[in-house]
Amino acid sequence: MHAAVIHAAHDVRFESVPDPVLSTGGDAIVRVVAACVCGSDLWPYRGVTETAAPKRIGHEFVGVVEEIGPDVRTVSVGDFVIAPFYDCDMTCVNCRNGFSTSCLDGGWWGAEDKRGAFADGGQGERVRVPHADGSLVATPGQPDAALVPHLLTLADVMGTGHHAAVSAGVGPGSTVVVVGDGAVGLCAVLASKRLGAERIVAMSRHADRQALARRFGATDIVAERGDEGVERIRAMFDGIGADHVLECVGTKESMDQALRSARPGGQVGFVGVPNGGPELPMRQMFSTNVGVRGGVAPVRNYIDELLPEVLSGAIEPGLVFDLELPLSEVGEAYAAMDERRAIKVLLRP
Amino acid sequence: MHAAVIHAAHDVRFESVPDPVLSTGGDAIVRVVAACVCGSDLWPYRGVTETAAPKRIGHEFVGVVEEIGPDVRTVSVGDFVIAPFYDCDMTCVNCRNGFSTSCLDGGWWGAEDKRGAFADGGQGERVRVPHADGSLVATPGQPDAALVPHLLTLADVMGTGHHAAVSAGVGPGSTVVVVGDGAVGLCAVLASKRLGAERIVAMSRHADRQALARRFGATDIVAERGDEGVERIRAMFDGIGADHVLECVGTKESMDQALRSARPGGQVGFVGVPNGGPELPMRQMFSTNVGVRGGVAPVRNYIDELLPEVLSGAIEPGLVFDLELPLSEVGEAYAAMDERRAIKVLLRP
């Protein structure tokens, strides 16, 4: 089969790789129907994190089950399935606690699982999925083609935006600021609206992203950043800041923006991968009582809650895809996102 | 009158100072009935924070109102009152949000208030209290002498221990680890018990503090620290750690201990003053989804909830006082706490 392989910064190729083979009894092979490129894929693409040797890449996909191992019980050949951006068994204590990203037997796409068998990257024609019963969620019947982009967001960005909102404690009547207007930030706006937030400020400088943020439920747009952005936000909320701030970027600057946009006793929910390793200023948190909670989003745990609303059309998170390319043009998909020509690129084999 | 003045590290003197004078209309003068020394007072005493010039010190006291300004409405001359470890108006947006330590018009004892009038330190014979209506809470009638130590803890340590538990999200059925066996840590045990925690581990190496922790509701004691302490804690809780961890020390080591004792998705509530400025490891928080929330405790907001239980004897937080001295021997009180001869020292004029 063919799959995306990153060789070095700015060098992602679609090339021939070994076909996946069932190996653990509880695994499945999924034929990918749609995949996409994540903002976090851009870190190795940009060389911010090093690629020492060629490596399979991609962690968001939906598809159809082609083969299952003898121990698989909850999905069948022919099912349309959503996979989270990691694999998990959904039976260990961490999965049961709602944090399947800390699954005691879990792993990541494009790497060996805990039994030493390879789990393919998500940007490929097929993927071997470890413990398929835990990792995969089947839709009731085959979805319409138009639903596929929305379903695909449950693999990562919609669940991650939801996690930012949940981690920040967003609920009915909340005031919310979203830092970051990428696909995750936009989904965080949608998640906040869905959870009942009353006022949602999207911090964005791009007209197309501002428009989508408004469609997703943003009540206000703030284009300023840094000190000016903080001043604007505080002026909007009693001079002190918002109850909840969702950090969806992952830089030192965006976290600083988030911490200073929250009112005393407010809460920051963060899902931006902290690349470059900013540390949190503890004395500032101490003096303001602003809490920080979040991290790698347990999106598998959220699929049960979000899937019915995607199926009914109540939420349309797939609107974050503004470019579609054949999977074979995955290199161009990375370039388009790197150069900010696209918010998020959908790939179809 | 006489009051404690810190001149330099290890040099706290009880000396003659000017009598307080009403000056803002909304203030009161309180005759101190009992005061005490805080763990955070030891930072300047030990020279960890510098004392550039002689300075009034002390921020925990209860007493009787001697004089009130013409605008005071809620307390009267003769009332027995509890003061929090700061002053606040209880009318601004932050006070109404429950975070009176961020009062827009608030201040600290032993310093000028926002109108430029001096608010005395708490370790003295009398204190001028800015906006007395916000800062002071009067008890119903004059309390028995035996109740005074318990009431005094509402000025800081009991409310601060409670804040650690609230910030960590402790509730019915919770599993809790308390890092730190000082007065605040012990009160955090009591607060967790009161909030319904099912299992409470006190980390302590001192027999007297272990005994008090058990009396306050600890179900387990762990004497180990560092890697060994973390291993013991994880072994007690499914191999992954506790739901809630209360950090009541304020060092880099204690925060590290706290973060690693929480299970994935758990929550650290922190109230230890972060002296020495440790920063939080954001990537570790990201990968584990362990949240951190807390800070300078809004104890004034908690007095309404905690006072009835102190008055009824349902909780006895004043057991943290294990030494009582005349206020004039305040220097010896600091020495006793510095040398760990006492958990917490009560001072009476």
**C-alpha dihedral, A160 to A180 to A338 to A332, nearest 10°:** 50
Mean pLDDT of A158-174: 98
> Per the CB < 8 Å rule, is A102 touching B291?
no
**CA B273 to centroid of chain Cα atoms:** 10
The percent of residues above 90 in pLDDT, for chain A, comes to 95
Confidence band (pLDDT; 50, 70, 90) for B278? low
Please give the residue of chain B at the shortest CA–CA distance from A269.
Answer: B291
Confidence band (pLDDT; 50, 70, 90) for A85? very high
* Average pLDDT value for chain A: 96
> Per the CB < 8 Å rule, is A265 touching B99?
yes
Domains, in order of start, for chain B: 2-156+298-348 (3.90.180.10), 160-294 (3.40.50.720)
Where would I find the beta strands (DSSP E) of B158-282?
175-179, 199-203, 220-222, 242-247, 262-270
Cβ–Cβ pairs < 8 A, chains A and B: 123
ipTM field: 0.96
Tens of pLDDT, residue by residue over A105-136, are: 999 999 999 889 999 999 999 999 999 999 99
A309/A316 Cα distance (integer angstroms)? 9
Tens of pLDDT, residue by residue over A214-240, are: 999 999 999 999 999 999 999 999 999
> Per the CB < 8 Å rule, is B265 touching A292?
no
Distances (CA, A) of B43 to A81, A92, A289, B3, B331: 58, 44, 21, 19, 14
Distances (CA, A) of A344 to A153, A165, A205, A332, A336: 10, 21, 17, 12, 9
Q: Residues of B with CB below 8 A from A267's CB?
A: 293
Chain A interface mutation, best of B96, B100, B103, B293, highest count of A Cβ atoms under 10 Å: B293
pLDDT at residue number B270: 97
**CA B138 to centroid of chain Cα atoms:** 19
Mean pLDDT of A285-290: 97
Nearest to A261 by CA among A210, A199, A335: A199
Q: Which of A263-277, B25-39, B127-141, B213-227 has the lowest mean pLDDT?
A: A263-277
Tens of pLDDT, residue by residue over B154-188, are: 999 999 999 999 999 999 999 999 999 999 999 99
Mean pLDDT of B60-69: 98
Chain A interface mutation, best of B101, B243, B282, highest count of A Cβ atoms under 10 Å: B282
Tens of pLDDT, residue by residue over A313-322, are: 999 999 999 9
Is residue A278 predicted with pLDDT exceeding 80? no
Tens of pLDDT, residue by residue over B296-327, are: 999 999 999 999 999 999 999 999 999 999 99
pLDDT at residue number A277: 59
Look-up of token digits 């999200």 = B169
Tens of pLDDT, residue by residue over A167-196, are: 999 999 999 999 999 999 999 999 999 999
β-sheet bridge partners, residue B244: B176, B267
Q: Which of A142-151, B74-83, B85-94, B249-258 has the lowest mean pLDDT?
A: B249-258
Is residue A274 predicted with pLDDT exceeding 90? no
pLDDT at residue number B131: 95
Order across the sheet with B11-16: list the strands. Answer: B11-16, B2-8, B55-56
Tell which wins on pLDDT, B278 or A244: A244
